[in-house]
């Protein structure tokens, strides 16, 4: 059956928020195309968790229990088999580094067109058209697919909406390719400042070299803690390269793409490679002692000052609210 398959990315059995958004988006598009959206989870995901994808619009959920979570090749094997067995037209991913890797692998395996950083999708002439911002988000480009298409969303581009009820979960067994066994997940990167993934945070306090040292991140952690649940701490690549902060928290071209409701950039210059990973944030507050720092060009609120003075004052102000 031609339709849309969504890869629901999981982290230790929990489904990532962007994948829920991808399922809702796929269900809406499938409705317009007169077909169905299905979802697949890889790894040992609970019945209730996998089935809950139905609440976001998946008509059916597949689960490949025996394939390992967290690495790309087994997931590509699983998705490619589902494409071979069901003749889907499109795969949609919510984003995330692993989503990008698996999406690229799937497109290569099945000979599909691929569009990454998708922020909108429409139906034209019975086919999907993916939209993605280009040239620093100043233009929108549109991708049409001659055959099958793989669409990878930009973080938080697709809104998760609960509309249905739990779906049935079908367990599938996939013969993994020889390459699948060559990479295994040894350990997950440490995440500091909050228990939540920075891609899921509502408030993100990001620190740059202006925080002065690894210890300077205490200022960012204090501010995130003042905001309470839903707030996390991230960093620039300069800081990660310096060993001040783990890579799991890196935002930008070679890190994660984030789009929280509030992004606080503390001691960050605003290099283009950082900007591309956070410019989708709803509100950006920048604190920098250099009034000419590029970050102020794309901030909603700029504070010219020393992070050592501004951050504690901001933390106290947030706590007082
Ligand atoms: P800096 O550029 O050194 O800026 C520090 C800022 O802090 C300055 O503006 C300074 O005025 C301010 N400051 C200093 N002291 C204080 C103080 N006490 N109070 C207030 N402000 C202060 N970068 C990323 O972030 N993510 C990426 O994914 C990424 N990928 C890259 C990929 C490639 C191929 C390349 C070439 C680069 C990449 N970079 C990436 C690096 C990027 O170009 C910048 O070097 C990096 O973002 C700079 O980090 P920063 O803002 O922390 O440091």
| Confidence class for position 169, pLDDT limits 50, 70, 90 | very high
Closest-CA residue, ligand 1 atom 37, reads 273
pLDDT at res. 192 = 57
SS3 category, 243 = coil
Kindly state if the Cβ of 288 falls inside 6 Å of ligand 1.
yes
Rounded Cα–Cα distance for residues 140 and 148 (Å):
21
Closest-CA residue, ligand 1 atom 49, reads 238
Phi, psi for 94 (deg, rounded to 5): -75, -15
* Predicted confidence (pLDDT) per residue in 30-59, tens digit: 999 999 999 999 999 999 999 999 999 999
Contact 43, 169 (CB under 8 A): no
Q: Which of 41-45, 96-100, 204-208, 262-266 has the lowest mean pLDDT?
A: 96-100
- Identify the residue with better confidence: 101 or 157: 101
| Confidence class for position 190, pLDDT limits 50, 70, 90 | low
Kindly state if the Cβ of 253 falls inside 6 Å of ligand 1.
yes
ipTM (interface pTM): 0.99
Kindly state if the Cβ of 271 falls inside 6 Å of ligand 1.
yes
Kindly state if the Cβ of 268 falls inside 6 Å of ligand 1.
yes
SS3 category, 30 = helix
Distance 235 CA to ligand 1 centre (A): 9
Count other Cβ atoms within 10 Å, centred on residue 72.
20
| Confidence class for position 189, pLDDT limits 50, 70, 90 | low
DSSP one-letter string for 54-107? GGGT-SEEEEETTSPTT-HHHHHHHHHHHHHHH--SEEEE--SHHHHHHHHHHH
pLDDT at res. 193 = 47
| Confidence class for position 197, pLDDT limits 50, 70, 90 | confident
For the chain, give the number of residues.
Answer: 321
Rg (CA), the chain: 20
Report the phi/psi class of residue 222: left, alpha or beta, with left for phi > 0 and alpha for psi in -120 to 50: alpha
* Predicted confidence (pLDDT) per residue in 103-152, tens digit: 999 999 999 999 998 999 999 999 999 999 887 677 999 999 999 999 99
pLDDT at res. 134 = 85
The stretch 222-238 carries a mean pLDDT of 92
Kindly state if the Cβ of 267 falls inside 6 Å of ligand 1.
yes
Distance 239 CA to ligand 1 centre (A): 8
Read off the pTM: 0.72
Distance 207 CA to ligand 1 centre (A): 9
The stretch 165-176 carries a mean pLDDT of 95
Selection from 62, 275, 78 nearest residue 169 by Cα: 62
Quick one: the chain helix, strand, coil %, rounded to 5?
35, 25, 40
* Predicted confidence (pLDDT) per residue in 242-259, tens digit: 999 988 899 998 888 899
The stretch 2-21 carries a mean pLDDT of 91
| Confidence class for position 194, pLDDT limits 50, 70, 90 | very low
């Amino acid at each position: 059956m031609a339709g849309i398959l969504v890869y629901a990315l999981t982290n230790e059995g929990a489904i990532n928020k962007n994948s829920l958004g991808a399922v809702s988006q796929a269900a809406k598009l499938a409705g317009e195309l007169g077909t169905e959206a299905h979802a697949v989870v890889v790894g040992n995901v609970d019945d209730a968790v996998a089935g809950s994808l139905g609440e976001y619009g998946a008509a059916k959920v597949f689960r490949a229990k025996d394939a390992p979570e967290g690495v790309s090749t087994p997931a590509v094997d699983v998705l490619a088999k589902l494409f071979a067995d069901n003749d889907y037209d499109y795969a949609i991913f919510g984003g995330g580094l692993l989503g990008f890797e698996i999406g690229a692998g799937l497109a290569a395996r099945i000979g599909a067109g691929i569009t990454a950083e998708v922020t909108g999708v429409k139906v034209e002439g019975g086919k999907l058209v993916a939209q993605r911002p280009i040239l620093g988000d100043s233009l929108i480009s549109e991708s049409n697919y001659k055959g099958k298409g793989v669409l990878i969303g930009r973080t938080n581009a697709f809104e998760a909406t609960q509309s249905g009820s739990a779906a049935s979960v079908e367990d599938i067994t996939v013969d993994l390719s020889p390459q699948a066994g060559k990479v295994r997940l040894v350990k997950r990167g440490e995440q500091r400042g909050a228990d939540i993934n920075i891609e899921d945070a509502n408030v993100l306090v990001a620190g740059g070299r202006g925080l002065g040292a690894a210890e300077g991140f205490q200022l960012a952690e204090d501010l995130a803690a003042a905001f309470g649940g839903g707030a996390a701490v991230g960093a620039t690549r300069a800081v990660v390269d310096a060993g001040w902060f783990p890579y799991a928290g890196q935002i930008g071209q070679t890190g994660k793409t984030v789009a929280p409701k509030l992004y606080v950039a503390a001691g960050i210059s605003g290099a283009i490679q950082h900007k591309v990973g956070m410019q989708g944030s709803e509100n950006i507050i920048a604190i920098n002692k250099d009034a000419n720092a590029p970050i102020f060009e794309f901030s909603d609120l700029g504070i010219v000052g020393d992070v050592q003075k501004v951050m504690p004052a901001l933390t106290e102000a947030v706590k007082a609210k």
